[in-house]
Structure 1
């Protein structure tokens, strides 16, 4: 039985007639993800996205694929007026959240270092200037997000954010002057890191954009500590071993802290301006995220 969200695509996706089993992986108000088994025995991932979640295929086509970073193969993309469906490679059954092996977390750090360098090297060669502009998050953009947070009903006149307004511009200026633009996944969490025979494959690039910041490594460090008791020191060492530049541990620590602030500001902005409606129960995340932000500010200052 075809799920209701995908039944509207019956006439334009021939593969739906080949599906013999549907396995629901995620169901939000604007996003549904299924692993499907075909008559041939092969499996695929089908992702339905509504409204703003319908633009993921364009992200893969214009940005992720062009930068030659590891990502799932896209078999097809189908769009109606207010939604879209992507059919993609089933990259593996298990992610790091399901199998939190310490060695896998260390490999995820190495994969991140390599993909950032690959993306940075290909950015000028493979992307048109208008695509770069479209997907870039500038220092001014992050400051604007901070201003938006201070106007939101959840965080209006929040003391931590007001303090960040004073210190953040300097840290952003330093970051954007010293670290090259690259691809940011922005959801580099255990659930999106699939275990394969030859390593780790990041999936779900729907939030990706271009920026120098290292929020992805900040997220991985937190997940590694939580799921597998892998230390921050070990994750940083694994990442640094793959970087082809003279990057000191002190510099890397600073980049992770500033990257964490960037990630938190952008994530909080998404939550307080509609994300809490998309993900049920996510409003409860806000106090913990604000605590994390305050701790990072102490590290940077």
Structure 2
């Protein structure tokens, strides 16, 4: 049984509306009750050990393959099985990411941030290209080791409470960061595992990773500076590191361009 409050209250709806219709490997939901500001789910016990508890390189590599599989499956099924109203409800558009960036620049925390100002100038073109060239898929947005269950037949992502639809590849950015932190698995190995399943070539994958990482950082920073630091004590200390990550991705994107 799982209880969720605030933004986590809609997790059952995400399983119902997105995860299960798109045929993504995930726990089954047997019953749920949705209240105004909270929700309770009775769900499958899909495993007791996650990749954070068993941070072996092989598990991170399989998580990369599973990410490629679920993204391809979601992109292929999206318009076939999801009503337009559901797609519209859960899609985060390129304009929405730019609006989040504007919010950051107007916040008390990050007003006048040099890197965010650089992104304001550079990101519109990159997002336009991303949304034009890459199919919309599902974004977990918390594709971290703690949310990846180890099973006999592979890896099962759990905790889809903040998932949405977008073409960006921020989940792979998260996984690369986690793999390095927990097991020192090289970035190149994660990319190679992802490409074993996906149809994307390395040059294009690197570009998608840069833009996707920036999308993930913008959305995460927006959540932190507009309330997240109050929810998670000490999370304000994450902000400088996230900005540094944004700086690195921006530099990579600039060099590649």
Shorter chain as normaliser: what TM range?
over 0.9
- Residue number among 94, 100, 106 corresponding to 2:61 in the alignment: 106
Task: Determine which of 81, 84, 90 is the counterpart of 1:135.
Answer: 90
TM-score (norm 1): 0.83
Question: Which of 269, 280, 285 is the equivalent residue of 2:222?
Answer: 269
| 1:286 aligns to 2:239 (yes or no) | yes
- Cα RMSD for the two superposed structures: 1.0
Q: Structure 2: any 5+ residue segments left out of the alignment?
A: none
Matched, 1:147 2:118: no
1:194 paired residue number:
149
Q: Show CA shifts across 1:100-157 (max 9, x none).
A: 1111111000000000000011101110001000000111110000000001111111
Q: Give the whole-Å Cα distance in 1 for the aligned partners of 2:6 and 2:47.
A: 28
Partner Cα separation in structure 2 for residue 75 and residue 166 of structure 1 = 47
Q: Indicate the SS of the match to 1:77.
A: strand
Secondary structure, aligned partner of 2:150: strand
Shift of 1:170: 0.9
Equivalent residue number for residue 5 of structure 1: none
The answer to whether the aligner puts 1:52 opposite 2:23 as a matched pair is no
Alignment partner of 2:69: what SS?
Answer: helix
Structure number with higher helix proportion: 2
- The SS at the match of 2:160 is coil
Aligned length: 254
Determine the structure 2 residue equivalent to 1:121: 76
1:217 maps to 2:155: no
Q: How does 1:1-301 map to 2 (within 5 A)?
A: 46-243=1-198, 245=199, 247-301=200-254
Greater relative contact order (CA < 8 Å, ≥ 6 in sequence):
2
More strand by share: 1
| Structure 1 alignment gaps of length 5 or more | 1-45
After TM superposition, the runs of 4+ consecutive aligned structure 1 residues lying more than 6 A away are none
CA distance in 2, matches of 1:162, 1:140: 16
Q: TM-score, normalized by length of structure 2?
A: 0.96
Tell which structure's C-alpha radius of gyration is larger: 1
Give the secondary structure class of the aligned counterpart of 2:3: strand
